[in-house]
Structure 1
Amino acid sequence: MKSYQSLCLKLGLNMSLGLVLLSLPAQAITIEDVPNPRGYGSSANSWISDTANLISPESEAKLNQMLSALEAENGTEMAIVTVEQTAPAASPRAFTTDLFNAWGVGKADADNGVVFLISRGDRRAEVVVGYGLESVLTTSKIEKLLQRQAVPNFKQGDYDQGILDASKAIVSELSDGAVASTSGSSNQAGLAKILVALGGGGLALVGVWFRRPLKKCSRCQNPLQKMSTSQLSAHLSDAQKVAIDINSAHYSGWQCSDCNFSTVQRHKHWFKGYTKCDRCQEPTLMFSNRDVLTPATRYHSGQAQVTRVCQCCNHIDTKLITLAQLSDNSSS
């Protein structure tokens, strides 16, 4: 599991502002329901998964351009996600953290990923930051920029502008100049809660959590030691080695010096051109082809068969997908 720091901003607005925050009843959602903007079939320049439709096309274009420039500048990867609510997850923070880990945001050797999530139904904004950036995007900076850039706009129901302004501020902190001028770590493990007054008598509760992976033996509770590259290689399966070769995942190994217990953790890369093979249980399935079985028309949807082949065991996986019905102005 990637290490990270998580900051959540709860927008505790009073009922006088509630009208602008009302939304349609939201259905339960899981992290699997959130489209990965860097997944197979997505645009190479997309960094946004706007499932709640809070971001205008104009702002989305600006944000994608900005985030692509940031990634080209220093390798930092940042995803922006909107959802109506995060139930049935334990909390919005847990939902965002699980999404961060599932997508593997950030470069494997730098842990330099950021996920900025806005949940309209929960009235919360969450920022999860890889520990490779903890000295650059500090907790105090996140708190200040969200209070200055996001909260005033969110209070007015202008999520689009709030997301745009807050994202600009985050990217500014993550620019090369900021990275070059900051070193060391300024964060300590623990929990901090701060009450910040908002206009109209409302309060914003800012909770800052730091959580590093627990590296204790599950058998004897003694500290685990990280394996060297050669030690890890001896513990990897053939499928795991293939996943490394095709760059779909990387792995870390931990071993107990007292009872010899060992464990290998998989860290999937954000680009999901590969999916998990049911036989190998590793992300080694690669897209092969798509055959249209029933073309979509203006009157009905279509159907296609997608074929993927495992790069380790040659297992062939086929799935049927639905092709969207054509609009009236679409060509057949």
Structure 2
Amino acid sequence: MSYIRSCLRQILLLFIITTISIGIFALPARATAVYEVPVVSAGVPTWIVDKADVMSLSTQGNIKGTLEKLAQQTGKEVRFVTIHRLDYGDTIQTFTDKLFKKWFATPAEQANQTLIVLDNVTNTIGIQTGTDVKATLTDAIATSTISETMGIPLRSGNKYNQAFSDATDRLGAVLSGQADPGPPKVISTPEVGRTYLKAEETDANRTNFLIIVIGLLIAATVIPMATWWWYQNQD
């Protein structure tokens, strides 16, 4: 009987560990809703809301200094927001549009604003600009800024600091009335193997982990019982 009790304790312990592991690895990360982003208003010197935690403190400091100077000299305000996972039913652009309207409720408040939002799970980016901004920051430049100036560093290895720094430099130049420096030049390099996992690969690894854990649980249940049955039959 003591042997059976020992086996049952082991099974119970493994079951608890398995349940906790499944809870940790199987549940998706919680999505970000617009109401969870801190409120910012026109004229308030909050230039970065990095909820996804993708920018270094050094990068944030440099960007804040540039955007603060831009706002003081031109009245044009640029803000960057990062989130980790979009809420169900949202695209990055609908999220950006809703946040823009939440932060800047009236046309007067919206006029000099530029808002860029990045979701670091998909590396998709949304942009929204006010009416007075569009005179210098045209839709073509705005689109190029998120798809090329930011998109190229992101596609070449999730270089978030470079993406936001380069976007700051380009937007700062354009909104100050200087010539558009354009997107970064792409230099072809030999293809190297990826050092990161795609989303589907991460999901596959998670599934494989669960299969292994469940297999271990079954083995931990069957093997002690089979061993006990063998000993019983030896008698």
> TM-score with structure 1 length normalisation?
0.42
1:177 and 1:153 mapped to 2: Cα distance?
23
Is the CA contact (8 Å cut-off) linking 1:37 and 1:47 kept in structure 2?
no
In structure 2, the CA distance between the partners of 1:106 and 1:48, relative to structure 1 (3 Å rule), is farther
CA contact (8 A) 2:31 2:84 kept: no
Q: Does 1:103 align with 2:103?
A: yes
In the other structure, the counterpart of 1:36 is 39
What is the CA–CA distance in structure 2 between the aligned matches of 1:144 and 1:80, rounded to whole Å?
A: 16
Deviations 1:11-61 (A, max 9, x none): xxxxxxxxxxxxx9431221110123559xxxx643110000011100101
How much does 1:101 deviate? 0.6
Quote how far apart the aligned CAs of 1:105 are. 7.9
Cα 1:87/1:168, change in 2 over 3 Å: same
CA RMSD of aligned residues (A): 2.9
Q: Which runs of 5+ in 1 are unaligned?
A: 1-23, 179-197, 201-332
Aligned position for 2:215: none
Higher normalized helix content (fraction of residues): 2
Distance 1:59-1:126 versus aligned 2 partners, 3 A rule: same
What is the identity, as a one-letter code, of the residue corresponding to 2:171? I
Q: Which has the larger radius of gyration?
A: 2
Structure with more strand by fraction: 1
State, as a whole percentage, how many aligned pairs show the same letter: 22
Q: What do residues 77-134 of structure 1 show as CA deviations (whole Å, max 9, x unaligned)?
A: 1110000122135321111001001001898277111101111123201111112222
Q: Are the structure 2 counterparts of residues 74 and 32 from structure 1 closer, same or farther at C-alpha, using a change threshold of 3 Å?
A: same
- Which amino acid in 2 is paired with 1:83? I
The residue aligned with 1:128 is: 128
- 2: distance between equivalents of 1:109 and 1:86? 26
Bigger RCO of structures 1 and 2 (CA < 8 A, at least 6 apart): 2
The number of aligned residues is: 155
Structure 1 residue 177, shift from structure 2 partner: 4.5
Cα distance in 2 between the residues matched to 1:56 and 1:37: 21
C-alpha separation between the residues in 2 aligned to 1:74 and 1:92? 28
Shift of 1:173: 0.9
Letter in 1 for 2:141: K
2:150 aligns to what SS in structure 1?
helix
Q: Secondary structure at the match of 1:157?
A: coil
Amino acid at match of 1:48: I
Indicate the residue corresponding to 1:115 in structure 2: 115
SS at match of 1:164: helix
**Structure 1 residues 45 and 132 mapped into 2: Cα distance closer, same or farther (>3 Å)?**
closer
- CA 105–177 in structure 1, closer or farther in 2 if over 3 Å, else same: farther
- Following superposition, the deviation at residue 147 of structure 1 comes to 4.0
Flag the 1:110–1:145 CA change in 2: closer, same or farther, 3 A.
Answer: closer
SS in 1 for 2:108: coil
Q: 1:259-286 CA distances to partner (integer Å, 9 max, x unpaired)?
A: xxxxxxxxxxxxxxxxxxxxxxxxxxxx
User: Partners in 2 of 1:115 and 1:165 — Cα distance?
Assistant: 15
Structure 1 position 27 matched with structure 2 position 30: yes
Amino acid in structure 2 at the alignment position of 1:135: A
Gaps of 5+ in 2: 1-26, 180-187, 192-235
